[in-house]
Amino acid sequence: MAPEDKVAFVVHGPGGQQIGRYALPRQACSQELKQAVEESSGLPCATQQVLIGHRVVEDGEALLAGGVASAADVQATLLVQLPVPTTRLEAKWERIPETSEYLEELRVLNMDRSEDRGWPPKDVLVPTPRMGCVGLDPDTGLLVLVGGGLSEHYNMQTGRRSGYGSGEGSDSIHASDLEEDGADGGEKTGATEYIPFSWQARLRALRCAAAASASSKRPKRTALARRRATCFRRDTCFRNPARNNLLVVPPDGPAFSLPLDGHDPLVTAVEVHALSSLQGYPFPSIGIVVALTTGSRRKFTGPLTLVACELSPVMAKCVSLTTAESDCQAFCLDRTGHIAISIEVRPNGHCIAFRSLRAPGASSGGESSHPIDACGRRATSIAWCRQAAAILLTFAGEHAIYVYQKVGAELGREIWQPMRMLGDASQRGCEDGPASKLRFWFPTADCRLVQGPYNSLMKDSCPLVPGPTGTVYIHSGGVLLRLADDLASASKITSMREELWLTDDDEGTPIFPTCQSVFGVCEGNVYRSLVRTDDSEQVLIRRLQISSELMQTRSCIRASAPRLWPNLTERREYVHPQDPGVAPTYYHEAQRDKWDGNTVWLADDWLWEDCPQSKPQDLRVSESGSWITFARWLRIWAQYGEHRDALRMAQEAFLERWKDCPQRARHPNHPHQLEKHSCHGICVVQGHCGMCGNSIFGFGCYECPDCSFLAHPHCILEEEGQFVELETKWRSLQSLLRASYFQACKPVLPWLK
């Protein structure tokens, strides 16, 4: 094309800044100019509006009126607009019945989809399976939900779906990973493209044609190989990249969803914070989301990366804020100044980094870092207090908040040093009041990432919770405290008992949902996510109203909210009279601010100090990761274990002699009359014998109705020598079973502090 056939368009932004100079044909339309601007600046075409003079050039319309241009350059103005989402999403908070308006749940519906489309319902976006982290702007209520990939099984021959899988993560599986090996040494076959979520007839036709072509080039398979190949094709699991998405729920605008690539770092987020801030140029968005990511769903160790993403209905534009040699341990946001504050581990030690989120080149520019002395400790949470110009830090294994403030600014040397400490690092408690009286309980794990339901990853502890207008809240034990702006005091405002986010209707036949970390406080509500571990696998987003009435006893709460706070065991099941579980019910009615109901911390001796219930000495962790005692393990083995026949024979021999024993008896060493008592089923711990001191771990005993005295039958009935023989055989069997129990189950979770 001759040079005279082209026209130079000089494009300026809304503020008069020059974006670029582009040479286009005379007959070029606005779409060509928008495409050139997107290639040079990254501004999506859908957000651009071109003006030449006072004329708005629509899509498909020629840039030059009449196709004629003067010799001078054509001046164009580029306006940036926030596009309207193409999908109609409806987000609303629904009050849960019979909770006295304390509890609400988020529901997001796709209004463009019909309701009757199988399971899970395709018109319901929230609650949804496998939703990952959730971020909140406590000032405006902006919610950002990161959706992890969900694997779905379907038939490769017909394309029909056959249910969701339970894969480890959200990384897309490449089709080449599922290629077959010929049983007779033939060539590998299979597509090399990424398989989309929705089945396409054209893709099926191409696959059939490719298979026919490949079969003509390779030797014939044996009958066994053909059957194996048929079984492989019958039910194949692919990752669902369409469900790797970012769901944005603004407080006063339409919700929208953005697709994420299977390898996008946001998909592997373990902590997310949102910031509501409307921006036009250079990239139109309604806010920013900052996330702490691992890079892989399967990585429990290694450095964590800090990333930021602009929230626009057009696309998710993600940038990395930290470098490869930095390991980010915790971060927070200064929402007034649009600054991300993080504590990182670098080759030269710990440092506090400040990064401007809206600065040009946010990945490198607008950054300052200051070394601190953390003594090798791992930071679990960080908060920024603007009124006190202080950074608050908590460390693993310590029950205190360290207040860092800047010194030496007048000398040009900004150094952040710990100026004071709130609480006592070595003393646990849950006390509010002036700073000198504060006591906290911040239980943590040795590893900073713990495994949640369906192999999801989350941080082990986040005691500092962001609140509106920069207010800092503290999650300590079973209570939420509000820290004063001047850091001089803290006060208890509501209960953090996990069961307060649950109702009786949440029973999952029989397991109730798992409560995850609290991610923010906004408009008088505490926000938390929960995961159903039944077939639905739903992630629930709920908010609980802040109220001092929720710090009352469970009986008082149930009187006003009859469906709130189900009575659960450490296995998240209803308490059964014959199997009450291990979790202390003492904290239902007393010392409500001490424990939040998280059964992960049951091994902590401090939790049992004031509790009338004693900590089981044989408390261990089963192969499934749940707490278990010898008594419960033995009940299971009595039905399904390899020693069930020996247990049944021991029980029958005992009961055969036990039925002839007198209903009441006396012993000269005990003043009260004793009554015959049969254990609830097989192998239930009754206590310790008041005569010989040995444990009563069998099928029956004598007990005193006036006190807690228990005794073996042979200790009360001296003439019953046969019981001594039965007791000897039972103790021999019990020793064998205990050895199997201690070998099969771990003593405690190894990462508990």
Residue 732 domain-assigned? yes
pLDDT at residue 401, as a whole number: 96
Which of the four pLDDT bands, split at 50, 70 and 90, describes residue 749? Answer: low
556 lies in some domain? no
Domain range enclosing 711: 632-745
pLDDT of residue 113: 67
Single out the residue in 52, 78, 93 at which a domain terminates.
52
pLDDT exceeds 70 at position 150: no
725 or 31, which is more confident?
31
pLDDT value of residue 156? 47
Q: Residue 398 — pLDDT band, cuts 50, 70, 90?
A: very high
> Treating both helix axes as pointing N-terminal to C-terminal, what angle do 721-744 and 630-640 enclose, rounded to 10 degrees?
100
- Of 35, 52, 69, the residue that ends a domain is 52
Beta strands per DSSP E along 34-151:
48-52, 55-57, 74-80, 89-95, 103-110, 124-126, 128-129, 131-136, 143-147
**Is there a domain that residue 643 lies in?**
yes
Which of residues 421 and 687 earns the better pLDDT score? 421
Number of Cβ within 10 Å of residue 718's Cβ equals: 9
Instruction: Say if 224 falls within a structural domain.
Output: no
Residue 639 in this model has a pLDDT that exceeds 80 = no
pLDDT digits (tens, 9 = 90+) for 2-19: 556 788 888 888 777 888
pLDDT tens digit string along 156-201? 454 444 444 433 333 333 322 322 333 333 333 332 222 222 223 3
DSSP for residue 34? H
How many domains, in total, are found in the chain? Answer: 2
Buried b (16+ CB within 10 A) or exposed e, 620-649: bbbeeeebbbbbbbbbebbeebeeeebbee
In tens, the pLDDT along 687-732 reads 678 877 776 755 678 888 888 788 877 787 766 555 666 666 666 7
Q: Give per-residue pLDDT as tens, 319-367.
A: 999 988 899 999 999 999 999 999 999 998 999 999 999 865 444 447 8
One-letter identity of residue 301: T
Question: What confidence category does residue 666 fall into, taking pLDDT thresholds of 50, 70 and 90?
Answer: confident
Q: Residue range 234-241: average pLDDT?
A: 39
610 lies in a domain? no
User: What's residue 200's pLDDT?
Assistant: 31
* CA-to-CA separations, 410 to 400, 407, 413, 414, 555, in angstroms, rounded: 30, 8, 7, 8, 58
Output the furthest CA–CA distance in the chain (Å, rounded): 123
Torsion of CA 586, 592, 593, 596, to 10 degrees: 70
Distance (Å, rounded) from C-alpha 112 to C-alpha 119?
17
The pLDDT of 495-500, averaged and rounded, is 96
What is each CA distance from 597 to 177, 590, 674, 747, in whole angstroms? 43, 13, 38, 21
Q: Give the pLDDT band of residue 642 (cuts 50, 70, 90).
A: low
Q: Is the peptide bond before 510 cis (omega within 30 degrees of 0)?
A: yes
d(CA 714, CA 135) in angstroms, rounded, equals: 63
pLDDT-based confidence at 411, cuts 50/70/90?
A: low
Question: Is 644 part of a structural domain of the chain?
Answer: yes
Q: Are strands 525-531 and 489-495 parallel, antiparallel or unpaired?
A: unpaired
Tokens at 741, concatenated: 């129990």
Mean pLDDT of the chain: 78
> Residue 642: inside a domain, yes or no?
yes
Residues 393 and 400: beta-carbon distance below 8 Å: no
For residue 214, give the amino acid letter. Answer: A
Answer positive or negative: Cα dihedral of 15, 18, 19, 22.
positive
CA distance 441 to 423: 9
C-beta separation of 581 from 569 below 8 A: yes
pLDDT-above-90 percentage for the chain? 32
Q: What is the pLDDT of residue 122?
A: 60
pLDDT given at position 641: 63
Q: Are 98 and 503 in contact (CB under 8 A)?
A: yes
The pLDDT confidence band at residue 412, using thresholds 50, 70 and 90, is low
In a 3-state reduction of DSSP, which class is residue 207? helix
| DSSP letter assigned to residue 67 | G
Domain boundary among 52, 68, 83: 52
For 266-281, write each residue's pLDDT tens digit.
888 999 999 998 888 7
Predicted local distance difference test score (pLDDT) of residue 620: 84
CATH number at residue 651: 3.30.60.20
In a domain, 679, yes or no: yes
